[in-house]
Chains A and B, each alone.
Chain A
């Protein structure tokens, strides 16, 4: 069964990619969707087995790299953590496959698109079911590659190509840390197998080593390096710049890769390595800080963006920040819970946004929309559900997972924990404001699009709506249904078992009541508030913007990260490259090396030629001089 789950998407990708022309685009759409759907159903079966029978398995497929002590296998590891990821990945992927049939209906390269989607799914599955760091790295790079292909899918758009390269390179910077982390793990442990590494972790707690002149504890260093990798893939601040640009890709891609699955791989990595991270207080604190900074930063930027997809992208970034600080305070299961619910409502929001964009004929600017809620009733309702779930409106899925994160941060009792809880609440408010801004500007107020008449607006076809409906069911009920299983005090330990390690059990205390109620209260109040500001009295907002111009431009320009990186890294690297080539290679090495030597020889030979003039009297003269010098010398002696 596991084999089918993993390899069916690969088969789909292969058939659609290489034989797409032969079997036809419609057939390859159906084929790939069907294959991934079967995988999704089987993942549910596996997940069910894990819940009910504590099913665990570690299949060995083949040996991959086997050099000396360095052994890495192809494997399928099934435990609570990976079975949960299987469900998330395959379910969202299957829905996105189906949705794409409608969304990409006018695209000439459908088979290629479906092939990439399936290939992505396979890589992601290889990532989550790995039992060692190397296969994980394989999946890690594989999803990065598919992301690169899919962001640049519309290859005629230059901006898409640039965004694709940017995504790949920024991820490579993260991978740089990840790879070093793996090298270090092999150096310290002599193995890259998860079980073996985690088992011997407690034995090397005091191991210290010097890295780049600084004395580190080995575990701290490993964890920090791995986290750098996670930061790249999960678009955490400093390495986040690629994610908003990645929105150049088709919207189903954004939903699948840049919201629900690939970007959560970083969180997965940290949770998978919880037996390592638990021993590194420094790394956990770092994760908390980075996580909460990202959560706040991204939410603040999302407030002022006008591109519907970029708003949701920053929102994703922000929610990933939540997941990270949840792991940072040791609440790994809560992070996974939020990952699970987030997959539903964020995929829902993205696909809903895709539906809006589809209706507006590829318009993404929310200032060019408005007032269409009656024309797009289904999309409107579904987007509302997604928004409510995202903001953490009571009893929807986001409510359970996000509030749990904030509570556990509070219960951690450390200063970083309190800070994280505080930032968490603030960010929840910001989240609510930008989400409702999006809804109100898109669906309410006056109709602002000049190109398309409002009468021409119509909702998306049924093939696009069905996945949305399924996702909305998840967005509503995923929280309440799985709360006990994932984060319940007793039941969650029975479920997670060895897949997550808690050095100290999570606190079972309850935070004060005012604390528990503050988040839902803020979230609820913000809805009418947002309506008032964005629809009723939007001139008030304009005045606010006028009054705080510097802050507004700072946010609008995303804290100037891109500009900064261009100035520090990109341009200098290019200038330096040119300098090395023109000045060093051509002007120094060549000039003094081969060219210099050949010139030297030439010059000498020209001089030497002059001696052989052929005139007897010159030769005789030289002879005479030499002879007289010799004679003089002899006489003197």
Chain B
């Protein structure tokens, strides 16, 4: 293994890009040099992370490319590293970011430079989240990620942007305060915040439940789980397209990742204890938000609600604590990252042309935008989870896992699959099919080149991994197995302890 600090450079590169952007000429449509800088940097990051994936050794569950630097002696160390689970999320982040930047073509005319800075900063923080191996560092990245998103919604959002931004901030901050307290308590209990050391040490069972709840309150908001999901539709509706994409594709995944890395890894007995709670909330999320999505009149809101339902599958899968369930959950997160990003981009495409997200405003645009219709169909099918798309693999594995644990839970969750087809196909029908609803829709032009590029860069992986999921599954396999083994081992110890 090389000694080159590849992870740190992934984190730092966007920040260096930010530095350069600050030197570019200020906002002027003619000089889009700031955009090129951002694009270059984020694309370079994507290439580096691909290389990282290439040299990554999937046969071991150990953390790789670990870097450790002293920060505050004896308390916090800057420690980063990746295993099979986190590397996929890093890839997702570095793939989505350049696409986001390309999509910012004409939609953002106000303070373009600052917008790009916000996106790059958020990329670097999100990569940080996925590779930090120290609780405090994780916390900093995790909460820091809030700030650029808060600004993106608050500054470049729609009419009710201030309300949405504050709702977003209020909700997420509430959970994270508790998490901070929990992290400090862990330090008091064990004397370290280093994740791998904590894995070895284990945390005393009597503290686990309360600590789990504290972490849960933060992750549940970010996932988002029912009933703390109401910030998401508002945030999505008001956020600019690129913001929605980042939010749906990556920010939501931080919580799922957190569940895997911390809730299960650090508090196994509490995880076991709270499984019924998670199942309940996940099922409610799947059914409830699917029904709500069915009735939405705003496209972005519909997709936002569907995200909540899909994340319900993810939390369900994670806490089945089976091979298939967890692999499926990770797969579903990646797949949802691609599909929901693309769906928001698709909405962005027609929003840019007609300045409306109202479903009723559209109808019959297949005859005007055939290419758009094909692309949207692919992602609609991905969201439905049709075999041959990545959505299927994730959902199916989750349900296989859930079925092992509880027939009842799996049955109810499978019902959600029917509802997903209902709201997505109905949306598609109302927007794309039928007679041309309004005459002014005729002025819409079909996908431009850069839009085709963005959407197919997401569409091809959706189909490819639908038919050949092996690369992703093989990457996570050992890490997932280790996670489950460790979990079971801990549980056994717990039983021994209570017996003794």
Contacts and interface: CB of A to CB of B under 8 A. Distances in A.
B294 A574 contact: yes
A158 interface: yes
Contact of B426 (A66, A165, A593): A165
| Tier of interface size on chain B | 35 or more
A66 B388 contact: no
A580 B292 contact: yes
Specify which of B322, B418, B477 lies most central, judged by the most chain A CB atoms within 10 Å of its CB.
B418
Contacts of B194: none
Interface in B282-310: 288, 291-296
Interface stretch (B6-14, B56-64, B208-216, B462-470): B462-470
Specify which of A63, A67, A210, A577 lies most central, judged by the most chain B CB atoms within 10 Å of its CB.
A67
Interface in A57-73: 62-70
Given A172-B418, A180-B403, 16 more contacts: A64-B467, A66-B473, A67-B327, A134-B396, A142-B387, A156-B433, A158-B434, A161-B429, A165-B425, A165-B429, A175-B417, A184-B403, A187-B403, A578-B295, A593-B227, A598-B166
B323 interface: yes
B43 to A, nearest CB: 27
Closest A-B pairs by Cβ, 10 of them: A68-B323, A577-B291, A183-B403, A138-B387, A577-B295, A155-B433, A581-B292, A577-B294, A172-B418, A67-B327
Contacts of B429: 152, 161-162, 164-165
Interface in B347-406: 364, 366, 381, 386-388, 392-393, 396-397, 399-400, 403-404
A576 interface: yes
B445 interface: no
B323 A67 contact: yes
A593 B366 contact: no
Nearest to B226: A589
11 contacts: A69-B323, A158-B435, A172-B421, A179-B396, A179-B399, A180-B403, A180-B410, A577-B294, A580-B288, A580-B291, A581-B296
B387 A141 contact: yes
Given A152-B433, A156-B364, A183 B418 contact: no
A176 interface: yes
Contact of A66 (B230, B422, B470): B470
Contact of A179 (B366, B417, B426): B417
A212 interface: yes
B415 interface: yes
B433 A68 contact: no
Contacts of A172: 417-418, 421
Contact of A186 (B381, B403, B421, B422): B403
Interface in B425-441: 425-426, 429, 432-435
Given A186-B400, A581-B292, A593 B230 contact: yes
A590 B324 CA distance: 36
Interface string A572-590: 0110111011001110011
Contacts of B435: 156, 158
A593 to B, nearest CB: 7
A183 B421 CA distance: 20
A594 B230 contact: yes
B468 A64 contact: yes
B22 interface: no
Contacts of A205: none
B323 A598 contact: no
Contacts of B323: 67-70
Nearest to A192: B400
B139 interface: no
Nearest to A588: B227
Interface residues of A, number: 57
B473 A589 contact: no
Interface of B: 166-167, 170-171, 227-228, 230-231, 288, 291-296, 322-324, 327-328, 364, 366, 381, 386-388, 392-393, 396-397, 399-400, 403-404, 407-408, 410-411, 414-415, 417-418, 421-422, 425-426, 429, 432-435, 467-470, 473, 477, 481
Contacts of A595: 167
A176 B170 contact: no
Nearest to A140: B387
A589 B171 CA distance: 12
B473 A65 contact: yes
B230 A589 contact: yes
A169 interface: yes
Contact of A212 (B294, B327, B411): B411
Contacts of B171: 593-594
A183 B410 contact: yes
A5 to B, nearest CB: 19
A411 interface: no
Contacts of B415: 176
Nearest to B425: A165
Contacts of B392: 141
A183 B399 contact: yes
A145 interface: yes
Contacts of A63: 470
Specify which of A64, A70, A162, A577 lies most central, judged by the most chain B CB atoms within 10 Å of its CB.
A577
A161 B469 CA distance: 32
Contacts of B473: 65-67
Contact of A594 (B231, B411, B421, B477): B231
Nearest to A160: B433
A248 to B, nearest CB: 12
A173 interface: yes
Contacts of A152: 429, 433
A597 interface: yes
Contacts of B422: 165, 169
A161 B434 contact: yes
Contacts of B393: 65
A65 B395 CA distance: 12
B469 to A, nearest CB: 6
Contacts of A66: 470, 473
Contacts of A589: 227, 230
A68 B324 contact: yes
Contact of A573 (B231, B294, B324, B433): B294
Contact of B295 (A169, A179, A581, A593): A581
Nearest to B366: A155
A344 to B, nearest CB: 30
B5 to A, nearest CB: 33
Contacts of B388: 138, 141-142
B223 to A, nearest CB: 15
A176 B417 contact: yes
Contacts of B414: 176, 179-180
A580 B419 CA distance: 15
Interface in A181-218: 183-184, 186-187, 209-212
A65 B401 CA distance: 14
Nearest to B171: A594
Nearest to A138: B387
B291 A576 contact: yes
Contacts of B387: 134, 137-138, 141-142
B288 A180 contact: no
B324 A593 contact: no
A212 B421 contact: no
Contacts of B397: 65, 67, 70
A145 B385 CA distance: 12
A296 interface: no
Nearest to A211: B407
A604 to B, nearest CB: 16
Contacts of A168: 421, 425
B400 A183 contact: yes
Contact of A169 (B386, B421, B470): B421
A594 B167 contact: yes
A514 B243 CA distance: 78
A259 to B, nearest CB: 24
Interface in A585-637: 585-586, 589-590, 593-595, 597-598
A382 B119 CA distance: 68
Interface string A439-479: 00000000000000000000000000000000000000000
